[in-house]
A and B are shown apart, each in its own frame.
Chain A
């Protein structure tokens, strides 16, 4: 029983971070029809951000969110304005190749400037986990869970309640109609890409203290990310949240009750089943 509860807890905690990475990717896809292959590398930048602000200025990684989220937002908007905007009319294949190139560029610039060394963020409060009822809950992961939930909720409210949020959703549903209604879809796209980057950065900052970081860590993250967003339905925010938590749980329970060797296999088998029987994703908004 303890083993089962432990697996559930670990699964939900890890899943909440997967969800946050997935939401960033899915928002960008929904509005701009861009599959951003550089998303994992933006997460990596967030991780390094947390690392450097901790090492150089002794800022607690969780506090450094206040610094890195706005910066990543701005960075994302700049990437859109100066790198992506002119390539978008070229079609989906072009943007796919373009973001793949961007991913290599970011990862290798990071390798060049920070070397390939593995780094971890060492926090004094991270060594001993909390043990309520004998269940191990690592403190950095618990903090990350709370903050990820708060950020995701804030995003949800932003999309549901504000004018700009409505404009983003409208553009996501039908860009042409949105433009006819007087929405500046260029501006919406820029803000959305900034938002996606900020979410990636925030996920990176939150993941930092729980993982190790190195310049090409994005590769592992992006593969998981695709499973998550397709599970939930590409373009659906609620779907990405559900997909992330589902993947976290499947990995955790699968490793304990089936075998660690098949941990990733189980995730991908579910992924294939969903594609086969519900090609539009569990939440059914995705378009083929």
Chain B
């Protein structure tokens, strides 16, 4: 008896929810964002959720977009590529969002991009970086952040411009995701063009629990530089930890990718993070007052200092709001999505992330980009973990402090 009462109550509530949902929906401009809210990448989903939330609140507090409030709807893809496609399709066809963003990692974003292209819905990428996302000629896909092959640019500048920094040999260890392979390919192409011998070229399965075997192999070839690519923070932490435990002793440990640029690396590794480089698409320009103000605002609200991911998530909502403001929406989904796409093509603004204008151009490896932010190459920065803080060290114009090179924590 009691059970059936509970059941009927529950189904009754579902009915009420279903009946009220469409009415609420018409009043807001819906932005869909597939993100990993559970699973190994959950901390990243949370970063974007906070960033989107803050931007949407600010915009809505100032009256929203043309009198309507914007609403960011996050759906969980658990960092699984196949699920990302399902979730994107659900957001487009059932939740009826006007535009998509998010995705978190390249593997998932590639899937979302294909769905968005097929269902003619604009997808504005905020963080996933594999070149392929904007080099397939998809006219419905846009990207604000730099591509993977741009990530190593600051590192390339560093080894070219700093006297004696050109590696005598290099070991490259990367994860077998779309992201890992893109970045490794870009770094390898540059090193080979400078005739640097590649002593290890190793792809590992993403989310590995044990890197001691691969580091044993790397140690045997005694590289001058150790380059590590990790999309997952856990991989970045363990790669560094196990390399140091096994006793790999290069002149520089260089990390590429999300995992090496987040606070967790220093928090979990402690002194083992000292002097590890992170060549990233964006590390923030400390001399920029807009970035400083955003950092403070974010810290006041959530009690954590934002980094690349939060800045990207926050900025993308402003890019979308700007495009929504410039498009005349009729209530016909197909026509509205096309209007937003046209508006995005004319985007020309500055966010806390930097300048943005979408265009078609060729990347450092010759990929032909469609709707890729034309200012991307200016964004790459080389940073270094020093006493638990990630400090920009190269190019000189963006440097916060002097670099430490060669690494003085390892015995060679």
Taken residue by residue from 254 to 281, chain A's Cβ proximity to chain B (1 for < 8 Å, 0 otherwise) reads as 1110011101100000000000000000
Q: A260-B214, A261-B202 are in contact. Are A214 and B245 (CB under 8 A)?
A: no
Q: B interface, by DSSP: helix, strand, loop or mixed?
A: helix
Taken residue by residue from 237 to 249, chain B's Cβ proximity to chain A (1 for < 8 Å, 0 otherwise) reads as 1100000011100
Interface check B296, CB cutoff 8 A: no
Q: A136-B247, A220-B209 are in contact. Are A256 and B217 (CB under 8 A)?
A: yes
**Residue ID in chain B nearest A11 by CB atoms:** B213
How many residue pairs bridge A and B at CB < 8 Å? Answer: 107
Query: Are B217 and A255 interface neighbours, CB within 8 A?
Result: yes
Interface residues of B in 221-263 (CB under 8 A from A): 233-234, 237-238, 245-247
Query: Are B210 and A14 interface neighbours, CB within 8 A?
Result: yes
Query: Are A261 and B204 interface neighbours, CB within 8 A?
Result: yes
Interface residues of A in 1-54 (CB under 8 A from B): 2-3, 6-7, 10-11, 14
Query: Are A108 and B209 interface neighbours, CB within 8 A?
Result: no
Q: A10-B213, A116-B42, A255-B213 are in contact. Are A260 and B202 (CB under 8 A)?
A: yes
Interface check B39, CB cutoff 8 A: yes
Q: A116-B46, A118-B233, A259-B202 are in contact. Are A252 and B209 (CB under 8 A)?
A: no
Taken residue by residue from 32 to 58, chain B's Cβ proximity to chain A (1 for < 8 Å, 0 otherwise) reads as 000000111011011000000000000
Query: Are A136 and B38 interface neighbours, CB within 8 A?
Result: no
CB-defined contacts of B207 to chain A, threshold 8 Å: 220
CB-defined contacts of A214 to chain B, threshold 8 Å: 40, 42, 234
Interface check A117, CB cutoff 8 A: yes
Query: Are B210 and A127 interface neighbours, CB within 8 A?
Result: no
**Residue ID in chain A nearest B221 by CB atoms:** A3
Taken residue by residue from 119 to 137, chain A's Cβ proximity to chain B (1 for < 8 Å, 0 otherwise) reads as 1101000010101000010
Query: Are A216 and B238 interface neighbours, CB within 8 A?
Result: no
Q: A118-B237, A118-B264, A252-B213 are in contact. Are A261 and B205 (CB under 8 A)?
A: yes
Query: Are A118 and B217 interface neighbours, CB within 8 A?
Result: no
**Residue ID in chain A nearest B39 by CB atoms:** A216
A118–B263 alpha-carbon span in the complex (Å): 11
CB-defined contacts of B43 to chain A, threshold 8 Å: 115-118
A255–B220 alpha-carbon span in the complex (Å): 13
Interface check B176, CB cutoff 8 A: yes
Residue pairs across A and B with Cβ atoms less than 8 A apart, 16 shown, are A2-B220, A7-B213, A7-B216, A117-B43, A118-B264, A131-B247, A138-B245, A216-B40, A251-B213, A252-B213, A254-B213, A255-B214, A255-B217, A260-B203, A260-B208, A261-B176
Residues of B within 8 A of A (CB): 38-40, 42-43, 45-46, 173, 176, 202-205, 207-210, 212-214, 216-217, 219-220, 233-234, 237-238, 245-247, 264, 268, 270-272
